[in-house]
Structure 1
Amino acid sequence: MDRIRKKRRIHFNAAEIIAIGFAAVIFIGAILLVLPFASKSGVSVGFVDALFTAASAVAVTGLVVVDTATHWSTFGQVVILMLIQIGGLGFITMGTLFALLLGRKITFGRRVIMKEAMNKITANGVVRLAKSILILTFIVEGIGAVILSSRFIPIYGLGKGIWFSVFHSISAFCNAGFDLIGNFQSLTPFVQDPIIVLTVALLVIVGGLGFVVIFELLEKKNLKRLSLHSKITLSLTAFLLVFGFIVVMALEFNNPDTMGNLSFGGKLLSGFFHSVTPRTAGFNTLPMNQLMMGTIVITILFMFIGAGSAGTAGGVKITTVGVIIATIVSTLKGRKETESFKRKIPRGLVNKALAILSIAAMWVIMVTFILSITENADFMTILFEVVSAFGTVGLSLGITTQLSTIGRIVLTITMFVGRIGPLTLFMALAQRHQMPTNLAYPDEEIMIG
């Protein structure tokens, strides 16, 4: 009998455990948020909206169907903040924290799962890395909260000011984009406040670089000695920040509905901030629905790209795009192998990057098609919302609260897929039914291009 039970026992691979774990956290968060006392009115928000909010928090997205400040009670806001922290660090890392606090041993199986969750090549050193991630996170979030408190406390008072500082510091570092300013304003009232704008922007950048890059910068302190991963991440991050700043400044500088009436310093701050936040942060200091069409297009591109791997950001990841760019350049130069920074990138990694980009594009197209049927909005507004959900960004042109029930459910799934990673999710499903094979097929050329 025991043998039969052992045979029937289901074994989950690492990708499945990550997907199931995130889904479980979202479901628990939804149950807590659907409680009547989670809302200030004492009336339950309903399960669909609670599920949407929980998914948005765990996926560190920031899309909201009800205003975070005015709708949720203190209990509801605390639940959302906890979900953001778990989602930003990953439930595996948070689970490791509790295991360490309880003095439990981290088994090899858990280390393998941690390796997958952290995007590491091997399981060596994952526990040490998890400890370092937790320490770094709490230090950076603490520093951010202290700096923000210098502005929020004078404005909102001691208690509320401290709560605002902690909430926005965690939300910024985790690239979540949730805010407590109220009435769906995000950070627009502080568009010309350098302390708040720059602090939030720096927290977003640090969280979006990825923990591997941050630790390499702290340890090696020499750009030439960095790994190829860190070099690609830093170089493309710098390029996108500069490129985004130039584009936004050029398009919005004289727009009376956005930057036109700001001081020159305010324009510089808002231009820089908008080059940072579309790459998965979700805060905004400019009214999104008043942006020029060119700015909206470049924002969609930035949201789709995202930021660094093994961090708190979403999108297809900047390293994925970097590998594809390197492949294109190498092909144009007539090289058989993909090269970058005088290093050869393995063919398997190139194939993985192409798969991620292709699956992501197909998912965005499919969801955009569905919402174009279910929602009463123009194509660009729907596409913006879908890419924002998939890239776990949280920016919106204003249709989130108007979504139908079907639209909310579809975007909830999209945020989940975006946070897990489309390749990880589909591999979890595909590998369950994959049959082992040692077959090797012959090569055959086809015509392309």
Structure 2
Amino acid sequence: MRNWLPLHGYQSYQRIQRTGLFRASPPVILAAGFLGLILMGTLLLSLPMASRNGISATNAFFMATSAVTVTGLTSVEPAIAFTHFGQIVLMTLVQLGGLGFVTFAVVSAIMLGKKMSLTHQALALEALNQTSVSKIQKTAFSVFKLSITIELIMATILTLWWWRDYPLITAIYRAIFHAITSFNNAGFSLFPNSLNQFLGDPVTVLVITASIILGGIGFSVLGDISQKKRWSSLLTYTKVIIMGTLALNLTGFVVIWALEFNNPHTLANLPWHSQALAAWMQSVTSRTAGFVTLDITQLHDSSTLIIMLLMFIGGGSLSTASGIKIGTFIILLAAVYSYIRHRKEVVLFKRSVSSDTIQKSLALLLANSALIFLGVLILTTLEELPFISILFEVVSAVSTTGMSRDLTPQLSTASQLVLTLLMFAGRLGPLTLIYSLATQQRSRVRYPETEFQVG
């Protein structure tokens, strides 16, 4: 074995020398690409022209990671700490991280008329959640066109609405920034205290929440809807995600409103229409977007727990949202329901779900739960802070939500670095897990069953 390791390493070195390529799996290449974006963003945000009074390298790295992973957690206030150049860098990192650098690479390659190598095809398939190479170009262009179109529409509406209170150039700039960050489910804002000043503003709240939902529902769902336009013709997955999104948003809206109705620090002193807007905003934004119109630190613990559940679930697959994803959550619920009803198959809309899909969903649930547990364990060791605040911050980082109980700026450098790792793992971890499950070799050996007690 000692002789084999150096030989293997030498052969790998020779192969890299001959081909000039690393034989890495798509998740490794994707992770390297995201890391490259983060490092580039760190350098740009560290420039004197990017900040008003200068920020540390740690803060620059944290903000770049938060932007690329479309999280929105902040160690410094973007509206105060960064110049226009720094804010544009942050906005660009969010766009690249949200849509994925692979999508931009594929679109660029197509526009230049270049053929994709097998390595690049595998990378694009993994990033765009496709199984057919023939669909890569169509999906990449759909993602690009849908994103730009939705962002332009949202930016236009916000510009016209905010023009009443701000100069036109300021209104345009802030509208574009918030259209990009909301569609990409990143919680960065150029207003103090996020969107608190728009608590009772129906246009701002409804536009921002619509942008969050469209960005988080998934491009495959949006594409299916645009092509078929009839409920009966939609794919089972599309129907499940639409109904799941509606159910989660409405349930969160009703529960948060009911729990906070008598809280004098949040909803109690507001007129009923402002209460409704605030509860709706809080429900939608908890699905990995991170904007707030209420003081999160003043919420009841019960409301905080509901928000953490919504953050943990997240949005749809092939979207700008993270979390375990709505599809995973619904599959697990359906599996439990089938077990309780003594059914051998898990059925959704008269279609059975494969055992591989159920196992993948369970693996994602356990992997994300383990990541949260590990993060909380480390932070509670490093910091003497309220447990619920640490748990909230960790769930927000792993689900790349970006909502905060004002804890992140108080954390030590070591704890902030832990959060950056959690954001990175939360964005790329599920992808790596799915890839490892999809590429594992099937064993032909079958073993006899054994009795095993659970529950």
Scaled by the length of structure 1, what TM-score is found?
Answer: 0.94
What does the per-residue CA deviation read over 1:79-121, in whole Å, with 9 as the maximum and x for residues that have no partner?
1011000111011001123323433333343222111112223
1:14-25 correspondence runs (5 A): 14-25=26-37
Distance 1:2 1:349 in 2: 38
What is the CA-CA distance between 1:7 and the residue it aligns to?
6.6
Distance 1:65 1:144 in 2: 27
Aligned to 1:50: 60
Aligned to 1:442: 447
3-state SS in 1 of match to 2:447: coil
Give the alignment partner of residue 398 of structure 1, picking from 393, 401, 406: 406
3-state SS in 2 of match to 1:63: coil
Distance 2:301 2:355 in 1: 38
Distance 1:336 1:371 in 2: 42
Q: Which amino acid aligns with 2:445?
A: A
1:16–1:428 Cα contact (<8 Å) kept: no
1:175–1:282 Cα contact (<8 Å) kept: yes
Q: 2:28 aligned with 1:39, yes or no?
A: no
Give the alignment partner of residue 305 of structure 2, picking from 263, 276, 297: 297
Q: 1:427 to 1:396 in 2, by over 3 A?
A: same
Q: Which amino acid aligns with 1:440?
A: V
1:305–1:321 Cα contact (<8 Å) kept: yes
What does the per-residue CA deviation read over 1:302-346, in whole Å, with 9 as the maximum and x for residues that have no partner?
000001110110111010111111111111121222221111111
Q: Which amino acid aligns with 1:391?
A: S
1:323–1:350 Cα contact (<8 Å) kept: yes
What does the per-residue CA deviation read over 1:1-26, in whole Å, with 9 as the maximum and x for residues that have no partner?
99973276630111211111111111
Distance 1:439 1:7 in 2: 34
What is the CA-CA distance between 1:427 and the residue it aligns to?
6.7
1:81–1:167 Cα contact (<8 Å) kept: yes
3-state SS in 1 of match to 2:352: strand
Give the alignment partner of residue 228 of structure 2, picking from 211, 220, 224: 220
1:305-384 correspondence runs (5 A): 305-384=313-392
Number of paired residues? 442
1:88-167 correspondence runs (5 A): 88-167=98-177
3-state SS in 2 of match to 1:416: helix
2:110–2:137 Cα contact (<8 Å) kept: no
Q: Which amino acid aligns with 2:36?
A: A
What is the CA-CA distance between 1:376 and the residue it aligns to?
2.5
Q: 1:109 to 1:423 in 2, by over 3 A?
A: same
1:186-201 correspondence runs (5 A): 186-201=194-209
3-state SS in 1 of match to 2:342: coil
Distance 2:291 2:13 in 1: 54
Q: Tell me which of the two structures has the higher relative contact order, counting C-alpha pairs closer than 8 angstroms and 6 or more residues apart.
A: 1
What is the CA-CA distance between 1:123 and the residue it aligns to?
2.9
Q: 1:135 to 1:372 in 2, by over 3 A?
A: same
Q: 1:372 to 1:216 in 2, by over 3 A?
A: same
Distance 1:253 1:328 in 2: 33
2:360–2:434 Cα contact (<8 Å) kept: no
Which is further off, 409-418 or 96-105?
Answer: 96-105
Distance 2:340 2:453 in 1: 17
2:397–2:423 Cα contact (<8 Å) kept: yes
1:51-90 correspondence runs (5 A): 51-90=61-100
3-state SS in 1 of match to 2:237: helix
1:16–1:429 Cα contact (<8 Å) kept: no
Distance 1:201 1:135 in 2: 20
Scaled by the length of structure 2, what TM-score is found?
Answer: 0.93
1:355–1:423 Cα contact (<8 Å) kept: no
Q: Which amino acid aligns with 1:36?
A: P
Which is further off, 293-302 or 214-223?
Answer: 214-223
2:183–2:212 Cα contact (<8 Å) kept: yes
Q: 1:188 to 1:437 in 2, by over 3 A?
A: closer
Distance 2:301 2:96 in 1: 35
Distance 2:152 2:434 in 1: 37
Give the alignment partner of residue 6 of structure 1, picking from 15, 18, 22: 15
Aligned to 2:5: none
Give the alignment partner of residue 432 of structure 2, picking from 404, 425, 431: 425
Distance 1:366 1:108 in 2: 37
Q: 1:54 to 1:3 in 2, by over 3 A?
A: closer
Distance 1:3 1:292 in 2: 57
Q: 1:6 to 1:142 in 2, by over 3 A?
A: same
Distance 1:181 1:250 in 2: 28
Q: Which amino acid aligns with 1:159?
A: I
Distance 1:4 1:405 in 2: 37
1:63–1:389 Cα contact (<8 Å) kept: yes
2:107–2:137 Cα contact (<8 Å) kept: no
3-state SS in 2 of match to 1:154: coil
Q: 2:449 aligned with 1:409, yes or no?
A: no
Distance 1:74 1:4 in 2: 45
Q: Which amino acid aligns with 1:206?
A: L
Distance 2:224 2:394 in 1: 34
| RMSD, aligned CA | 2.1
Q: Which amino acid aligns with 1:24?
A: G
1:303–1:387 Cα contact (<8 Å) kept: yes
2:128–2:139 Cα contact (<8 Å) kept: no
3-state SS in 2 of match to 1:125: helix
What does the per-residue CA deviation read over 1:176-214, in whole Å, with 9 as the maximum and x for residues that have no partner?
1110003xx100001111111000000000001000001
2:91–2:181 Cα contact (<8 Å) kept: yes
2:360–2:437 Cα contact (<8 Å) kept: no
